[in-house]
Amino acid sequence: MSKGSILIVDDESEIREGLELLLNTEGYSASSAETGEAGLALLDEKPFDLILLDVSLPGRNGLDILCEIRRRDPNLSVVLITAYGSIDMARAAFKSGVQDYITKPWSNEELLVQVAQAVEGRRLREENVHLKRALKQRYNFPNIIGKSEKMLAMLDLVAQVAPSRSTVLIHGESGTGKELIAKAIHSASPRADKPFVAINSGSIPVDLLESQLFGHVKGAFTSAVASKKGLFEVADQGTVFFDEISTIAPETQAKLLRVIQEREFMRLGGTETIKVDVRIIAACNVQLINLVREGRFREDLFHRLNVIAVPLPPLRERKLDVPLLLEHFLAIFCKENGRAMARFTPAALRLLVDYDWPGNVRELENVVERAVVLSSRESLDVDLLPESVRTRELLGGVRLHLSEFISELPGEAGSRAGAGSATASLFQIMDEIERRVICDMLERTEWNQTEAAENFQIPLSTLNQKIKRLGIDARRRGPARAAESSASAT
């Protein structure tokens, strides 16, 4: 299968033929045209993934042709071919959504990387468009990106429960999209045109929370100079979203239980029972059942909330969604900042896909925004990624998950430091990190210490000293392997 179809528009036959040959050899299917008009005619005949467009064409110039191309297919990737002097012109073209430019003369290697990126960019843009359309058709959830099995299974469940009045408990790590899903449920329900009221119980003191939820009558407390409706009344016939439900105080838990069971409550200081029709969606980022076991959350309320449990998978368990989400947020932030569409270089993409995303989609969104704001370049490279994402690169590719590492540290470093020590000193921690990094490198070089020392850019003798001091059993692995293989040879 072809890697992608490419149209070359250039008036120099040498360039056309050279590029066509290069791209066809690399597995693309390339065609070419000598003038802009001929290029447009080809474009009308069959679809292309990418156009390599010379800016200085005889007759209508490249920028003119570019506008025509955009009108035909706004998602098509376009890479401009420019002579050295016309870079400014190429920059102007970025405003028309050009992905990249190549300056004559180019290196074939770089050109192929640029072509691959542009074709991939087109694929992702199209996929996002299709995905959004499909998700909208299937679920009527715009703005939710995801094609991993876990996300689709979750969306299936959400689509199924949305039309009902059932209480939903959304559980997921911070930044996984709990609020987004709560809103999607509301929008896909018959309550869509009624209020969606979100309340974060964690950030409000008990008294204030109760008066906000249930309202109060005049004189209920000193500052209650007039009666006031609570959120439950405001949200009547709509949805109330309890964010961070785990933080709600025991007294309020009891009152909330009553609202869910009886759909009624009293204003603070009031005697009249008020009936409401609200749907309740709750979210939490801890396992609520654990709080029940610890006696910190009412069991009856938990069961009332947990009628439909919607677990949101962390991003590290659906890496397939990472490139799509990156593309989605790149489009949003580039548009917001009034600039041409930017993209990440393959090296940056690799780090972004490899990264564990402890802050999930919110963290990814922030990383994209940061990169877009920090650079006006169209190509966003590794240097624009925060250190957390680059850790792997900074460590020379060594796998080191600091969070996991630190959580297991006291025991390990403690036992190394002698029984009974509950915490580790900074030196012990640094030693442990050094030990792991060296072991990891030795594994990667198949215990070739010379190669490992070279990779670390330190003398072999220094590496030897470290191996000895840290008690790494490097000898055992090397000769042991040799012994094993000689044993099996005999």
Ligand X SMILES: Nc1ncnc2c1ncn2[C@@H]1O[C@H](COP(=O)(O)OP(=O)(O)OP(=O)(O)O)[C@@H](O)[C@H]1O
Give the footprint of ligand X on this chain (CB under 6 A).
143-146, 172, 174-180, 285, 328, 361-362, 365
Q: Characterize the bridge pairing of strands 196-200 and 168-171.
A: unpaired
Closest CA to 35 of 63, 70, 64, 9: 9
Strand order across the 279-284 sheet: 196-200, 239-243, 279-284, 168-171, 308-311
Shortest distance (Å) from residue 23 CB to ligand X: 34
Of 49 and 363, CB closest to ligand X: 363
Restricting to residues 428-447, name those near Mg ion by CB under 5 A.
Answer: none
Looking at the Cβ atoms of 242 and 265, the one nearer to ligand X is 242
31: phi then psi, degrees, rounded to nearest 5: -125, 165
Site for Mg ion in 160-179 (CB under 5 A): 178-179
Smallest gap from Cβ 327 to ligand X, in A, equals 11
| In the complex, least distance from residue 259 CB atom to ligand X, rounded to whole angstroms | 22
What would the two tokens of residue 217 be? Answer: 């009558």
Residue with tokens 């590719």: 397
φ/ψ of 82, rounded to 5, equals: -125, 150
Which residues in the 52-111 window bind Mg ion by CB under 5 A?
none
Q: Measured from the CB of residue 246, what is the shortest distance to Mg ion in angstroms?
A: 13
Q: Give the three-class secondary structure for 371.
A: helix
| Residue 177 interacting entry, from ligand X, Mg ion, none, C-beta within 5 to 8 Å by type | ligand X
257 vs 320 by CB, closer to ligand X: 320
Choose the one of ligand X, Mg ion, none that binds residue 175, judging by a C-beta under 5 to 8 angstroms depending on kind: ligand X
Which H helix or E strand runs over 409?
A: helix 409-417
A 10 A CB-CB count for 462 gives 11
Tell me how far, at minimum, the Cβ of 318 lies from ligand X, in Å: 9
CB 292 to ligand X: min, Å: 20
Q: Which residue's structure tokens are 């990094």? A: 437
Residue 189's binding partner among ligand X, Mg ion, none (Cβ under 5 to 8 angstroms by kind) is none
CA distance 265 to 263: 7
Least Cβ distance, residue 285 to ligand X (angstroms)? 5
Spatial separation of the C-alpha atoms in residues 206 and 248, rounded to whole Å: 8
Closest-by-Cβ residue to Mg ion is: 179
Is 132 or 228 the residue whose CB approaches ligand X more closely?
A: 132
| 62/175 with CB nearer Mg ion | 175
Handedness of CA 137, 139, 142, 147 (dihedral sign): negative
Does residue 381 interact with Mg ion by CB under 5 A?
A: no
CA dihedral 156, 125, 341, 47 (to 10 degrees): -160
Give least dist CB 322 to ligand X, A: 11
Question: Nearer Cβ to ligand X, position 78 or 310?
Answer: 310
Point out which residues pair with 103 in neighbouring strands.
82
- Here the tokens at position 15 are 């360039």
Site string for Mg ion, 174-213 (x = CB under 5 A): ----xx----------------------------------
| CB of residue 152 to ligand X, shortest distance in Å | 11
How many chain residues bind Mg ion (CB under 5 A)? 2
Nearer to ligand X, 318 or 466 (CB): 318
Other beta carbons within 10 Å of 405: 14
Residue 180 or 353 with smaller CB distance to Mg ion: 180
362 binds, among ligand X, Mg ion, none (CB under 5 to 8 A by kind): ligand X
- 145 interface partner picked from Mg ion, ligand X, none, CB below 5 to 8 A per type: ligand X
How is residue 127 written in tokens? 């996929």
Report the partner that residue 230 touches, choosing among Mg ion, ligand X, none (CB closer than 5 to 8 A by kind): none
Cα distances from 355 to residues 304, 320, 350, 388, 391, in angstroms, run: 37, 12, 9, 9, 9
Q: Which is nearer to ligand X, 5 or 366 (CB)?
A: 366
- Tell the smallest beta-carbon distance from residue 283 to Mg ion (Å): 6
- 176, interface contact from ligand X, Mg ion, none, CB < 5-8 Å by kind: ligand X
DSSP 157-206: HHHHHTTS---EEEE--TTSSHHHHHHHHHHTSTTTTS-EEEEEGGGS-H
Phi then psi for 432, rounded to 5 degrees?
A: -65, -40
In whole angstroms, the minimum distance from the beta carbon of 365 to ligand X comes to 5
Q: Which is nearer to ligand X, 68 or 179 (CB)?
A: 179
Residue 80 or residue 368: which is nearer to ligand X going by CB? 368
Residues in the chain: 490
**CA 286 – CA 292 distance, rounded (Å):** 11
Under the rule (CB under 5 A), what is the footprint of Mg ion?
Answer: 178-179
